[in-house]
Amino acid sequence: MSFLPIADAAFYKLSDIRPEYLTRRGIRLLLLDIDNTLSPYGTEEPTDEIKAWVSDMKNAGIKLFFVSNNHGERPSIFSEKLDIPYIKSAGKPSRRGALAAMERCACSKNETALVGDQSYTDVLCAKRCGITAILVRPIDLKSPHFAVRYFFELPFRIAAKEKHGRCKR
Ligand SMILES: [Mg+2]
């Protein structure tokens, strides 16, 4: 097992991941990062696109579960608005939150994927757990902090095993 933060698949944005992509691979549980994956920082209202995507996933029988490093109220706010259970302060790349979510959903490693926008937290967490790692492009790249981090993650983004849609890096 590799502990390099190289994703199994890269998508441009969360809603580009379609339920059929996951079901074809036997994935029944999708662990979700929130900040800059589901919603940019500073926004607490899911977009209509995200609401439709969540609905599509649920209708296809994919369980969703937030595993967020956020210590504040955002995980509970999005949990309530989208009816998705959550674990906050997960400490990714620690395995703790992801393993707890898998246990609560009674899903095995082979049935679980984690999607997030950061190589060193989200992808590395998935690799350490032995589950499928899916990387998306951060929603907000305007702030210098996010842009610099994205730049340093580029080699790992480019190395992602599968690239889908507009996600060329
Ligand atoms: Mg994030």
pLDDT of residue 169: 42
Does pTM top 0.75 for this prediction? Answer: yes
Domain ranges of the chain: 9-162
pLDDT of residue 151: 87
CB 122, CB 92: distance < 8 Å: yes
CB 56, CB 90: distance < 8 Å: no
Interval between CA 26 and ligand 1 midpoint (Å):
25
pLDDT of residue 2: 62
Pick the CATH number of 9-162 from 1.10.420.10, 3.40.50.300, 3.40.50.1000, 3.30.70.3280: 3.40.50.1000
- Which ranges constitute the DSSP H helices of 25-73? 48-59
Interval between CA 105 and ligand 1 midpoint (Å):
22
pLDDT of residue 146: 85
Interval between CA 33 and ligand 1 midpoint (Å):
6
Interval between CA 111 and ligand 1 midpoint (Å):
22
Interval between CA 47 and ligand 1 midpoint (Å):
17
Interval between CA 163 and ligand 1 midpoint (Å):
19
How many C-beta atoms surround the C-beta of residue 123 within 10 A?
Answer: 29
Interval between CA 120 and ligand 1 midpoint (Å):
10
Per-residue pLDDT of the chain (169 residues; tens, 9 = 90+): 567 899 999 999 999 999 999 999 999 999 999 999 999 998 999 999 999 999 999 999 999 999 999 999 999 999 999 999 999 999 999 999 999 999 999 999 999 999 999 999 999 999 999 999 999 999 998 888 888 888 889 999 889 988 887 754 4
Cα 44 from Cα 61, distance rounded (Å) = 26
Interval between CA 93 and ligand 1 midpoint (Å):
12
Interhelix angle 74-82/48-59, nearest 10 degrees: 60
pLDDT of residue 167: 59
Residues with CB under 5 A from ligand 1 (ion): 33, 35-37, 117
